[in-house]
Chains A and B, each alone.
Chain A
Amino acid sequence: MRRIISMLMENEPGALSRVVGLFSQRNYNINSLTVAPTDDSTLSRLTVTTIGDDRKIEQIVKHLNKLVDVVKLVDLTEGSHLERELMLIKVKVNGAQRAEVMRLAEIFRGEIVDVTTSIYVVQLSGTSKKLDAFIAALEGVQVLEVVRTGVSGISRSDKVLSL
């Protein structure tokens, strides 16, 4: 099953490599990974999406918790949560396709953020599934570049990951 594991990590050199190293060392896979500082400059928030059965996820969570740099951790998929990913996608558009792609972007609540005579850059945010669906809907359109940030997530309601 796909899981979104989100953690607060010491904002220190080497911390990220320990997290990433753990995944490769123990043959766990990383589907996406995002990391950035938080409002507390000593902490980074890192979110990783991975796939595994319950046993594997339990091990991943335990091993992450053992890392001295990992301060606090939550498996967002255990409760109700929001997940968002941002995508920038560059497509080649000519003639009738221009209107078609613009309409698609609108349906998906995307924005066209760069335009030339033959190119659109569409910006889209949402769940990974929604982004996948947009790419699928572009069938017949020449996609030049896909840039995705990877998943960020947060728990719904009053559940908070903080110190």
Chain B
Amino acid sequence: MLSGGEMLIRALHDEGVDLIFGYPGGTALHIYDAIFQQDKVNHILVRHEQGATHAADGYARATGKPGVVLVTSGPGATNTITGIATAYMDSIPMIVISGQVTRNAIGSDAFQETDMVGVSRPIVKHSFLVQRPEDIPSVVKKAFHIATTGRPGPVVIDVPKDVTDPADKFPYEYPESVKLRSYSPPQKGHSGQIKKAVEILLSAKKPIIYAGGGVVQGEGSEELTQLTQALGYPITNTLMGLGAYPATDKQFLGMLGMHGTYEANMAMHESDVILAVGARFDDRVTNSDISKFCPNATILHIDIDPASISKTVTAHIPIVGPVKAVLKEMNEQVDTALSAIDADALERWWENIEHWRERNCLAVKSEGEVIKPQQVIQALYAVTEGDAYVTSDVGQHQMFAAQYYHFDKPRRWINSGGLGTMGFGLPAAMGVQLAYPDATVACVTGEGSIQMCIQELSTCKQCELPIKIVNINNEALGMVRQWQDMQYSGRHSHSTYADSLPDFVKLAEAYGHVGIRIEKLSELETKLAEAFAIKDKLVFIDVVVDQNEHVYPMAIRGGAMNEMFLSKTERT
């Protein structure tokens, strides 16, 4: 016989959870007491509930397993909202368990009462308010099932305090399976559609494969790589898809979209067939005017979520299904039909692409000892031999990381793409480091973003997480300033704070970590290497960079994909 609180923790264990992130408070105390009295589910105490959600999110992105969060009601619950929205936008499996006031107090404006199910409704895949203690095992089972299958996403379980009362005990049995009559995500794609898509793909003269985060989340990288290499077609990845295809391979054109490479965006625009896999034609890819998007392309779109298909750009051949299964089926068909490819046309297409590549849109010009932010990522790539887990915050540094760190494996690049949440990087890195204690985990951040969840430095100390924070310090909200330079005649409205920035080295030391500052290009790589050589400690690496650098290429607003600024003075 177990209490509700005990059942909850036991159910998590039965679900295979060994790590949760949380922060206690009144309505969660019965649950915390249940945690105290067992040793199977490990709990990480964060310093802010937002940190718990991003940490669980980072853990989920790196491992593919759902991240689990436990918080109290009211402010504890509302503090998770940004993290839930972040996970929702990027389809990350996450379970957020929130305490709630007792059942009879719900609706009475009780102390620390918020309608968590209501507040979180638009940003969850589903939510539960536990009505009876006996329901806990089945609710947990359903929640994990919903969060991890189909298009994954966050699920909230709101648990009234009296439901977890240690005085009330119940027989416990964890259900082996769930069946929800109203929820059955597709297990495979429609074979007829797949066949049609393969035919079109093979007859293309200027094909391109455009792969997104769905390939990473759907574990389809291997199948995607196989298909791409069998076909010999060019491939581009979205910000969320980086690592889905090895970036160092010659068929890879780099990231596409707003800050995508010249060659990727040009190839998209000129293509006659686009195979979109686990990507959703986000406005950061298509640019704002859909009518100008890839005018000659027949679009084949594979996605697990029917609502992602033909939402913005109409798909000619929609295929609803898990990317892994669909790609596998495509591979089988392609393997026996490769002779159908027009080799001459493909060769001419590659000649075009090589010509675009020669523009070398990501070339970096050195200026004496001044460190360019791009050079920080190049140095990071060299020092970590391209094999780190890289989490990122949001801003210019994020785009530089995406452009200059070449991810060869999925789940290595961990960033908030859909919501663009500043403050994500450090807690996400905690989740990754806890999942993989021996891995090199770098958090690429900016002096703006890092201050949004800086308190987690204390969690890192408590857990002794040897994260390497690479703070690309341009003394400004760089991305905001870039837009102000480009669209507001350089009026820097509230985007700078140079005279009030903390001394990050001292700050790191105050939290018990190592802090170093790098100011000269000549010492960039050596000092970075020294920092990464410290295996047992968190190192905060504050890198002072050129403040005037912009991220290029940059899509021209309202233009087609072939319309880009390539530098402050050049455009297509």
A94 and B323 CA atoms in complex are apart in Å by 71
A70 and B307 CA atoms in complex are apart in Å by 15
Contact between A59 and B311, CB atoms less than 8 A apart: yes
Q: When A and B form their complex, what is the total count of cross-chain residue pairs whose Cβ atoms lie within 8 Å? A: 35
Q: Does B305 contact A (CB under 8 A)?
A: yes
| Smallest beta-carbon distance B373→chain A, Å | 37
Contact between A21 and B182, CB atoms less than 8 A apart: no
* Among B96-104, B119-127, B408-416, B506-514, the stretch in contact with A: B119-127
Contact between A13 and B182, CB atoms less than 8 A apart: no
Contact between B180 and A17, CB atoms less than 8 A apart: no
* Among A60-68, A83-91, A109-117, the stretch in contact with B: A60-68
A63 to chain B: which residues have CB within 8 Å? 307
Contact between B307 and A71, CB atoms less than 8 A apart: no
Which of A55, A58, A71 contacts B181, CB < 8 Å?
A71
Contact between B305 and A55, CB atoms less than 8 A apart: no
Q: Does A14 contact B (CB under 8 A)?
A: yes
A70 and B126 CA atoms in complex are apart in Å by 12
Contact between A70 and B182, CB atoms less than 8 A apart: yes
| Smallest beta-carbon distance A98→chain B, Å | 48
Which B297-351 residues have a C-beta within 8 angstroms of A?
Answer: 305-307, 310-311
B306 to chain A: which residues have CB within 8 Å? 62, 65-66
Q: Does B564 contact A (CB under 8 A)?
A: no
Which of B129, B180, B305, B311 contacts A13, CB < 8 Å?
B129
Contact between A14 and B129, CB atoms less than 8 A apart: yes
Which B104-147 residues have a C-beta within 8 angstroms of A?
Answer: 117-118, 121-122, 125-127, 129, 146
Q: Does B497 contact A (CB under 8 A)?
A: no
A158 and B238 CA atoms in complex are apart in Å by 47
A21 and B181 CA atoms in complex are apart in Å by 22
A72 to chain B: which residues have CB within 8 Å? 182
1/0 contact string of B496-518 vs chain A (CB within 8 Å)? 00000000000000000000000
Which of A21, A62, A71, A163 contacts B122, CB < 8 Å?
A21
Q: Chain A residue with minimal CB distance to B126? A: A68
B122 to chain A: which residues have CB within 8 Å? 21, 25
| Smallest beta-carbon distance B120→chain A, Å | 11
A67 and B306 CA atoms in complex are apart in Å by 13
Q: Chain A residue with minimal CB distance to B305? A: A66
Contact between A69 and B182, CB atoms less than 8 A apart: yes
Contact between A71 and B182, CB atoms less than 8 A apart: yes
1/0 contact string of B180-208 vs chain A (CB within 8 Å)? 11110000000000000000000000000
B305 to chain A: which residues have CB within 8 Å? 66
| Smallest beta-carbon distance B180→chain A, Å | 7
A107 and B305 CA atoms in complex are apart in Å by 50
8 examples of A-B residue contacts, CB within 8 angstroms: A21-B121, A55-B310, A62-B306, A63-B307, A67-B182, A68-B125, A68-B182, A71-B182
Given A14-B117, A55-B310, A66-B305, 16 more pairs with CB closer than 8 A: A10-B182, A13-B129, A14-B129, A17-B121, A18-B121, A25-B122, A58-B310, A59-B311, A62-B307, A65-B306, A67-B182, A68-B126, A68-B180, A71-B181, A71-B182, A163-B181
Question: Which residues of A are in contact with B by a Cβ distance under 8 Å?
Answer: 10, 13-14, 17-18, 21, 25, 55, 58-59, 62-63, 65-72, 163
